[in-house]
A = this chain, B = another copy of it.
Amino acid sequence: MRILIVEDEQKTADYLSRGLGESGYAVEVVRDGYDAQHYIEEYEFDLIILDVMLPGLDGWQLLQMVRQRSQVPVLFLTARDAVEYRVKGLELGADDYLVKPFSFVELLARVRTLLRRSPPREREHFRVADLAMDVLRRRVTRQGERLALTNKEFALLELFLDREGEVLSRTYIASRVWQMNFDSDTNVVEVAVRRLRAKVDDPFPTKLIHTERGMGYVLEDRS
């Protein structure tokens, strides 16, 4: 779970970053509004913790910007206890707020609540060339024709699609699809790729899964 912390006070930022890091979240910290804007536009987060008072763009502006483009939960930090501040944040689309100072336990509880409510935004649909995958319906088609994939084949293809155009090492593939540390004395990945190709690529003129010798495999439209 990736969390973005937008906070200019060094002390608070460290406190948050360390605590959340130890609790198993991947944390990114930025110190002003412009950096925040950049990160929000460039990367995906599962939760944003936002201080109201910031150099550069302030919390309200950032919040509006975030809401323009996504539903990611936002937790507001405010030094003021004044009701109208909190209300303003909530009206603008924040999901929760905390008044400083706060205890870490409480923050963690709220973070968990927010994350529990917004399950990891896995993609539900992919499309590359004439290949389409509907994850929820577990349906894969090429040229409109339905392909019958097994469990492993599906998982593998989903990984490829999720990382379209990236070269995936065998080790990485093994860790994602088999949850194992790739001991290298097995060729499961090769065999799995073979079987996947047999259904996805072999019967069709344009191939999508390519071997990068010495590196791994890519899924990509090279037509």
Q: Which residues of A contact B (CB under 8 A)?
A: 83-84, 86-87, 90-91, 94-96, 102-103, 105-106, 109-110, 112-113, 117, 136-138, 150-152, 154, 165-167, 212-215, 218
Q: Are A109 and B86 in contact (CB under 8 A)?
A: yes
Copies of this protein in the complex: 2
Q: Are A87 and B106 in contact (CB under 8 A)?
A: yes
A138 to B53, CA, bound (A): 47
A94 to B116, CA, bound (A): 11
Residue in B closest to A108 when the chains form the complex, CB atoms = B87
Residue in B closest to A103 when the chains form the complex, CB atoms = B83
Q: Identify which of B83, B103, B151, B165 contacts A105 (C-beta below 8 A).
A: B83
- Of the candidates A86, A109, A151, A215, the one having the most CB atoms from chain B within 10 angstroms of its own CB is A109
Residue in B closest to A214 when the chains form the complex, CB atoms = B151
Known: A95-B113, A95-B117, A117-B95. A212 touches B87 (CB 8 A): no
